[in-house]
Structure 1
């Protein structure tokens, strides 16, 4: 079977996008995600995102995302911006789009050429929302995580998917082999029964963070939109970052701007770009 795809990315967080608005979610998409995400051996990506028919009245489409290991994620901030850009250039040329996700309906607003702002909903630092166990009810502004042979002072934040945010003492954030040595111990930690995304951040100042991420189901990625939102939200709770002011988050693949509003709603702004289109054979 041969399928057509569009390769898109937000700050290097890249997915294979399938237009499923007429056909619905493919039966074997999880298996395809494992096969096609292999870098150097196939298309290469952080996973597959399917653009499906809307799930709620008035929505423009539904986003379903599958990680490189075949697991399904509930939300991807970079991915949902790319879905909006795809829709805008493929029959839904509107400056405001409504996209259903497993983490709820998201409103996307076009800011300019290839630039979108996503209303990400409210963050939560309560243990039940991540979920996290054995750390109290929350807010999880400071929780102790035993991983990679030491204790870490972390914050737990849900953006519709779970995040563990760790402040790093200097700009030399772990990446590559260094990140791979500690990331899995967080991802599969007993505190997080459904796994967790982990962000390591350095605070340059109140409105500038530097971040590296180990994503649940994908490993290290160039960027993570929900991770950037969780990191700024955690620093707001710790009194480091202000509310109602854009905070710039520097990632391996570029920069995102996050605003945590006074009502705990989070706005995510950044690029959404098409890399190429193609066809590939799948079983």
Structure 2
């Protein structure tokens, strides 16, 4: 069996998009198929898979990590997903997309997209470690779990081949870990290790968690825009007066075709 696919990325966080409006093509979407598609040597390559399926009268982003595991949310992915729906399915903006972390509303402004990521949850302090080094971290949920650690240098986290150590009681299903340095006023840079995908070039929900943790550390007023540099580009995040996190960044489609992976 062959089926259609597209390839896209948001700040170089890349995804395989699978059109499957009525769910007849991919069934339950097996972890093995996801891993085959995301394989960067024998497959198409990606940090995850975005299956476009309709549920309860709206488009639903069925997101899977590169290892085949299910994830609640993906910030860069939802922008790529919205771009796909607009370009290939004719969906207008503003757009509402169903996810496992609730319905997300997206707007378009030129080549960039703004996603209302909802209300963050700041859940206290924790700790992460790489090798013999450890750091205090802020536990933030953006629908999926994050540990935000401020470091002196982004190189301090090492190669990040393996997941940083974390408290399994706090994160029983794993965690995305962001290492953050300050670049200027309301300006930070980060690296991230995403559960199920490894170190990636960007993480949208991670950038949101970083902006929230930094705003709290700065005692910044709500509505302050934070610039978050990731290895694959730049995102802008605002934590609003009404407790919403708005993330703005690019999304592009770079390829499409058919495969029998």
Compute the TM-score of the two structures, normalised by the length of structure 2: 0.93
Instruction: Give the gaps of 5 or more residues in structure 2.
Output: none
Using the TM superposition, give the Cα deviation of residue 222 of structure 1 relative to its aligned residue in structure 2, in angstroms. Answer: 0.7
Using the TM superposition, give the Cα deviation of residue 93 of structure 1 relative to its aligned residue in structure 2, in angstroms. Answer: 4.0
1:36-115 equivalence runs, <5 A: 36-55=37-56, 57=57, 59=58, 61-113=59-111, 115=112
Q: Is the 8 A contact 2:130 2:157 kept in 1?
A: no
Using the TM superposition, give the Cα deviation of residue 166 of structure 1 relative to its aligned residue in structure 2, in angstroms. Answer: 0.4
Q: Is the 8 A contact 1:173 1:212 kept in 2?
A: no
Using the TM superposition, give the Cα deviation of residue 13 of structure 1 relative to its aligned residue in structure 2, in angstroms. Answer: 0.5
Using the TM superposition, give the Cα deviation of residue 206 of structure 1 relative to its aligned residue in structure 2, in angstroms. Answer: 3.0
Distance 1:145 1:13, change over 3 A: closer
Question: CA offsets, 1:203-255, max 9 Å, x none?
Answer: 11231110100001000111000000000111122226542022111111111
Q: 2:139 aligns with which of 122, 145, 156?
A: 156
SS in 2 for 1:122: coil
**Does residue 1:179 correspond to 2:176, yes or no?**
no
Distance 1:146 1:174, change over 3 A: closer
Distance 1:213 1:277, change over 3 A: same
Using the TM superposition, give the Cα deviation of residue 261 of structure 1 relative to its aligned residue in structure 2, in angstroms. Answer: 1.1
Q: Which moved more, 1:206-215 or 1:148-157?
A: 148-157
Alignment-derived partner of residue 23 in structure 1: 23
Looking at structure 2, the residues matched to 146 and 240 of structure 1 have their Cα atoms a distance apart, in angstroms, of 26
Question: CA offsets, 1:124-168, max 9 Å, x none?
Answer: 012xxxxxxxxxxxxx1x434455334321100000000000001
Instruction: Give the gaps of 5 or more residues in structure 1.
Output: 127-139
Q: Is the 8 A contact 1:166 1:201 kept in 2?
A: yes
Using the TM superposition, give the Cα deviation of residue 54 of structure 1 relative to its aligned residue in structure 2, in angstroms. Answer: 3.4
Q: Is the 8 A contact 1:206 1:241 kept in 2?
A: no
Q: 2:215 aligns with which of 232, 236, 244?
A: 236
Distance 1:256 1:173, change over 3 A: farther
Looking at structure 1, the residues matched to 136 and 185 of structure 2 have their Cα atoms a distance apart, in angstroms, of 19
SS in 1 for 2:165: helix
Looking at structure 2, the residues matched to 88 and 28 of structure 1 have their Cα atoms a distance apart, in angstroms, of 24
Question: CA offsets, 1:51-81, max 9 Å, x none?
Answer: 11033x5x3x100111111100010000101
Distance 1:145 1:254, change over 3 A: closer
Looking at structure 2, the residues matched to 273 and 52 of structure 1 have their Cα atoms a distance apart, in angstroms, of 20
SS in 1 for 2:14: strand
Compute the TM-score of the two structures, normalised by the length of structure 1: 0.86
